[in-house]
Structure 1
Amino acid sequence: MLRKCAAVIAALFMSNVPIWADPVTLVANGGGLTVMGDVLGYDGKFIRVDTEFGELTLDFEEVTCTGDDCPDPDQFVPALSFAGAHRIGDLLLPSLVEAYARQSGLSFLRTESGASQFSYVLADAVTEQEKLRLTFRLSNTDEGFADLLANEADVVMAVREVRPTERNLARDIGLGDLTDTGRSRIVALDGLVPIVSPGQTVKSIALADLDRAFSGEISNWSELGGRDAPINLYLRDVNSGLAQGFEDRVLGPSDASLSSGAIRLDNDQALSDAVFSDSNALGVTAFESIGDAEPLGLTGPCGLTVTADRTRLRTEDYPLTIPLFLYLPQRRLPDAAMAFLNYVRSPEAQRVVRRAGFVDQAGVPTAIKGQGDRLATAILNAGEEVPLTELQRMMRVLGKLERLSMTFRFEVGSTRLDAQSRSNAARMARDLRAGVHRDQRLIFVGFSDARGPASENRKLSSARAEAVQRRVNVALGETELSDFTLETEAFGEALPMACDDTEWGRQVNRRVEVWVGPRLE
């Protein structure tokens, strides 16, 4: 049995720890297996050793270990190391660590070990026994993934999604597929926002024009409806994950390159201040870092304009919403470390995220009467094939319900939910198990863009709503729950949120919203 267990879990990795110097001997307590090797890691339950048979991972309680380098379970302190983006590690995660310690009845001690490195020790408040050590190395998203690939970190703090090259390298060295379910946590939300000086007469910009401006194809404000003046471009430095996300999301679809004339700045405050002081500036920054500059809305040819605010970032109705990620490899982590990572996704943690000044993921309900502007604008822009009777049906169905600020969307050209939506499915399942929606009916309401016949679009939106319901049911697992109901509904192209004559507008319109109300008797 021990040999079989070792074979099954031999591919799993454990927390990064130094390699021990001398070999140890492991003998199965029931006999039948004896191995010698160098200790590669120990996580409090399993020991990983490099043997003549290759790398093996064994249940430490099922073996007897002899040798100077055998780990001592009584002295073991679980550890977890983070590396990556300053935006996440500077304020957000420390706030979560300290709140988690207080909630768990633990004391915490923070120790600085350099300009961008620090650690926390969480201990029993009474006995002072150490329960968890957390270390942080703040740099940028690129270096965070590099540290993970070099086995110098357990968790990456990333302000963009993992790139294909990083995903492939991680998979090739046995860290699993970082895009799989469970390999990432979204800890908060942010957004890429175009900003200008307060005196600028241009108040909105099409996403396509933002692309053309930052690639140098447009160089004068008069081409955007402003005065005759050059456009001075500002963006974060090349190592910034947000700048990389901007290039991926805005310049990438047209295969454009950033203009060589763009001014690169190494922190958000410097960028906001520079744009504020330059009447000809056009910059892009994070939602939380706009400062005294003026944000521009994103518009399309049909005239619909979307501005960045907390509600639109939560629902992804703002097209340049950026999740803030923690990426975890396929590696065994100590139970105490997993407890903290699971806390990060809890409702209590979301309140901490909000107090820290970031956009949380709480499913805030909004009654239909509080969505008048959204509904009026959308209905006015509904396609000609949408009859009045369908709009009336939609209002009858939704009129007594509330919309949750949790929206499901799909990756471009795919039936796979995007990263934020995969996180939403897991979060909804947790909320349902916790009784957050007790005695309620939840309706997954599908919408589509207006390409193609309206009847087909309604079928597509219905299929998407059913796909989301299936995903939530899978996340619920075998849980026996009967105090809520899950339903689906679909209205096709009846409620557009952005212009259908742009790809990003169609992507915004293809969505599944969540509406809640009392269960029907």
Structure 2
Amino acid sequence: MIRKNPSPLAWLFACLLLSHSAFAVDLEIQGSNTVGAALAPMLVTAYLEQRTGHKVSEEGTGKENEKLLTAKDGNSRVSVLVAAHGSSTGFKAMAAGHADIWAASRPAKAKEIQSFSDRADLTSMDSEHVIAIDGLAVLVNPANPVSQLGIDTLGKIFSGEISNWSEVGGPNRNIHIYARDDRSGTWDTFKSLVLGKRYSLSKAAKRYESNDRLSDDVSQDPGGIGFAGLASVRNSKVLAISDGNAPALKPNQLTVASEDYPLARRLFMYTPGSRVTPMAAGLVDFALSTEGQAIVAKSGFISQNPIAVKPDFDATVPDTFRRLTAHYQRLTVNFRFSRGRTKLDNKAMRDLRRVRQYLEQQGRSADDLMLIGFADRQSNELRAQLISELRALSVRKALNELNVKDVAYTGYGHYMPVGGTGSPRNGRVEVWIRSR
């Protein structure tokens, strides 16, 4: 990649005469349309304005889903290319040395991690950066009376096994399926969480590179159903989704930020470990900062800056849990674990610091917090209780290391699952703060 700061005249000449691959850019971001359509350009704009003190201009490159952002920087200009053609394309670009940052709406796949292992560990905190939380919204026409569906029912609909809305409580109308294309991380997430190995997408499905265009078409089709990132709901109706026997949840700030919502997912920026350029490192740091996360919220995604929320309990919540949390609000952050494990992941390590920062900003102390651990269903109640308490204790110890000392904790066993049996989302630690 060319790395220089051309004069304004040379830069303009390049824009007029050269293809995007020949643009002289200082930073190149490639990958997810979910990240690249609006969020990445917003983050880049704010970062460049902070870095240069000048306004940022944005224009296309002549190719769909690509943007070139530039700003004056002293006597020259600084430029950033954002190309949003799908998560898999971003990995290929970074692996080939054509991109500084890989934007992804799914975690790196095992084969990608392995093929990049001689240059960097994509699972390390140096390379993997969760920049936002998104809820994969299931969309229908606003006039559709159906309000919720289970994940298994979704699988049957998108595979074509269920083909008429009357089969799920709707009108006698054929179902029309809308889906993202094969290069999309949104598609990868939907395929993994909904279709799995049991179902295959119907050949009648219409495929899209753009979340927004898919949503717009669904909103105008009385028989339509599709899925898109939360920021692309637009004029469509969003369904509540259930997993197993857990209650159906709509994607909102609490359910998505805590990742309780069955189709919640993380949005990533990946960098090549120690080989990251200073400008790429600066942008990632900005994206992870409090200011950057505020921009995430403005973009329509869910910020990782914790806030306190009083949940609306439904009839399934036990009286014992209502009493336990009666004088508390819940923070919009969860610490999650793989089944049977207590090791915190990269996002959790950053969330620990966010909790500490929240306490400092709100003038609160560790005495105001309560950690509640949960477990997936176990062979007996005692084992589930022990696992849930150990998870809460592991978060307590990690907070101790950040000088948030001796936080109260308890376990709630395998009760109040948010996913079906075996779902890793059930193994979690919720963070509650005393109401003022």
Q: Which residue of 1 aligns with 2:124?
A: 180
1:273 CA drift (Å):
2.9
**Residue correspondence of structure 1 range 71-470 to structure 2 within 5 A:** 79-104=26-51, 106-110=53-57, 112=59, 114-115=61-62, 116-121=66-71, 123=73, 128=74, 134-171=80-117, 174-252=118-196, 254-299=197-242, 302=245, 304-366=247-309, 370-371=310-311, 373-374=312-313, 376-380=314-318, 391=320, 394-395=321-322, 397-411=324-338, 415-417=342-344, 422-429=346-353, 432=356, 435-436=360-361, 439-441=364-366, 442-470=369-397
CA–CA distance in structure 2, aligned partners of residues 433 and 195 of structure 1: 36
Q: Which residue of 1 aligns with 2:6?
A: none
In the alignment, residue 114 of structure 2 is paired with which amino acid? N
CA–CA distance in structure 2, aligned partners of residues 187 and 274 of structure 1: 28
CA–CA distance in structure 2, aligned partners of residues 400 and 335 of structure 1: 46
The 1:281/1:406 distance shift into structure 2, 3 A limit, reads same
The 1:341/1:300 distance shift into structure 2, 3 A limit, reads closer
1:377 CA drift (Å):
3.0
The 1:167/1:414 distance shift into structure 2, 3 A limit, reads farther
- Give the RMSD, CA atoms, in angstroms: 3.1
In the alignment, residue 70 of structure 2 is paired with which amino acid? Y
1:251 CA drift (Å):
1.4
Q: Secondary structure at the match of 1:180?
A: coil
CA–CA distance in structure 1, aligned partners of residues 228 and 335 of structure 2: 25
CA–CA distance in structure 1, aligned partners of residues 352 and 75 of structure 2: 35
**CA offset digits 1:151-188 (Å, max 9, x no partner):** 111210111111122111111xx222212233222222
In the alignment, residue 514 of structure 1 is paired with which amino acid? V
Q: Secondary structure at the match of 1:210?
A: helix
1:209 CA drift (Å):
1.0
In the alignment, residue 258 of structure 2 is paired with which amino acid? T
Q: Does the 8 A contact of 1:406 with 1:424 survive in 2? A: no
CA–CA distance in structure 1, aligned partners of residues 33 and 256 of structure 2: 21
Q: Which residue of 2 aligns with 1:63?
A: none
1:415 CA drift (Å):
4.9
- 1:491 and 2:408 equivalent? no
1:297 CA drift (Å):
1.1
1:94 CA drift (Å):
2.5
CA–CA distance in structure 2, aligned partners of residues 518 and 293 of structure 1: 36
Q: Does the 8 A contact of 1:85 with 1:141 survive in 2? A: yes
The 1:255/1:395 distance shift into structure 2, 3 A limit, reads closer
**Residue correspondence of structure 1 range 5-20 to structure 2 within 5 A:** none
Q: Secondary structure at the match of 2:251?
A: coil
In the alignment, residue 187 of structure 1 is paired with which amino acid? I
Q: Secondary structure at the match of 1:305?
A: coil
In the alignment, residue 399 of structure 1 is paired with which amino acid? A
CA–CA distance in structure 1, aligned partners of residues 174 and 58 of structure 2: 48
Q: Secondary structure at the match of 1:360?
A: coil
1:214 CA drift (Å):
1.4
CA–CA distance in structure 2, aligned partners of residues 303 and 78 of structure 1: 48
TM-score (norm 2): 0.83
Higher relative contact order (CA 8 A, sep 6+): 2
In the alignment, residue 430 of structure 2 is paired with which amino acid? E
CA–CA distance in structure 1, aligned partners of residues 322 and 78 of structure 2: 52
CA–CA distance in structure 2, aligned partners of residues 321 and 234 of structure 1: 19
TM-score (norm 1): 0.70
1:319 CA drift (Å):
1.1
In the alignment, residue 356 of structure 1 is paired with which amino acid? S
CA–CA distance in structure 2, aligned partners of residues 333 and 288 of structure 1: 29
**Residue correspondence of structure 1 range 5-84 to structure 2 within 5 A:** 79-84=26-31
Q: Does the 8 A contact of 2:100 with 2:277 survive in 1? A: no
Higher normalized strand content (fraction of residues): 1
**CA offset digits 1:307-355 (Å, max 9, x no partner):** 1112211111111112221011223334454233212111111112222
Q: Secondary structure at the match of 2:241?
A: strand
1:117 CA drift (Å):
4.4
Q: Does the 8 A contact of 2:33 with 2:184 survive in 1? A: no
Aligned residues: 410
Q: Does the 8 A contact of 2:384 with 2:414 survive in 1? A: yes
The 1:109/1:364 distance shift into structure 2, 3 A limit, reads closer
CA–CA distance in structure 1, aligned partners of residues 322 and 84 of structure 2: 49
The 1:399/1:103 distance shift into structure 2, 3 A limit, reads farther
**CA offset digits 1:431-453 (Å, max 9, x no partner):** 52683465411332201234432
For structure 2, the residue ranges without an aligned partner over 5 or more in a row are 4-23
